[in-house]
Amino acid sequence: MTRKQLIEQIRLKRTYLCIGLDTDIEKIPQHLLSFADPVFEFNRQIIDATKDLCVSYKINTAFYESRGIRGWESLEKTVDYIPSSHLTIADAKRGDIGNTSLQYAKAFFETLDFDALTVAPYMGEDSIRPFLQYKNKWTIVLGLTSNPGSRDFELQQTGDERLYEKVLKTVAKWGSTENLMFVIGATRAEELVNIRNLLPDHFFLVPGVGAQGGDLKEISEKAMNKDYGLLVNVSRSVIYAGKNEDFASAAKSMASRFREEMSAYIK
């Protein structure tokens, strides 16, 4: 998916909601366990119920990898089921030496045909370059995360700037606003004005709204740009909004609430 297509979808649907399909088989409604692939059936119904209310789906691969080959089968069926009008994100946080990253890129951009992949920048440019070679694919680099451990490295001062600031400015030179996004945690809203000043035109993938406590209004006011520039990810608050057979309907209702609020912030 191109930047232009993503912007058009946000404008058309008046939402920048990304729904996280972080599906835990231990948390899905019990009646789904009778299906041959309970995880895919859960995802299928969530997608059917919410596809008109979001522009992207993010799949955290850990929830699928933990189940071995059955999990990978569920993942592949899920990404194939998502409409082509939606940006598909593999939240796999890959990043390794060049030859290994090349294989990761093939796995997620060719074999599984995701539109985007999250990567870790710690090993430098040669570990990220293989992902950037793909046309109309997005590399989403960890910038400033929400977890407490971000204080250990990301927020540490290095000379006249903090490490995360150096990462953002350096990585931005390796690609463009057409193929690079950055993960910026919603619970770091106090840093958003600074980050938007550093990267005025890039899209940010913002996890942490909903169950993790991020404030959608504050994020939107501080980080939205002329092209919207945001994909706000919500996972548990949407997909686990209901616990019974009406779980998809409950997910739709919750996604609709997020979409309604986002619509008010879109100029």
Report the catalytic residues: 93
The dihedrals phi and psi of 119, each to the nearest 5 degrees, come to -135, 155
**136: how many CB neighbours lie within 10 A of its CB?**
12
One-letter-per-residue 3-state SS of the chain: CCHHHHHHHHHHHCCCEEEECCCCCCCCCHHHHHCCCHHHHHHHHHHHHHCCCCCEEEEECHHHHCCHHHHHHHHHHHHHHCCCCCEEEEEEEECCCHHHHHHHHHHHHHHCCCCEEEECCCCCHHHHHHHHCCCCCEEEEEEECCCHHHHCCCCCEECCEEHHHHHHHHHHCCCCCCCEEEEECHHHHHHHHHHHHHCCCCEEEECCECCCCECHHHHHHHHCECCECEEEEECHHHHCCCCCCCHHHHHHHHHHHHHHHHHHHCC
- Contact residues for 110 (Cβ-Cβ < 8 A; gap 6+): none
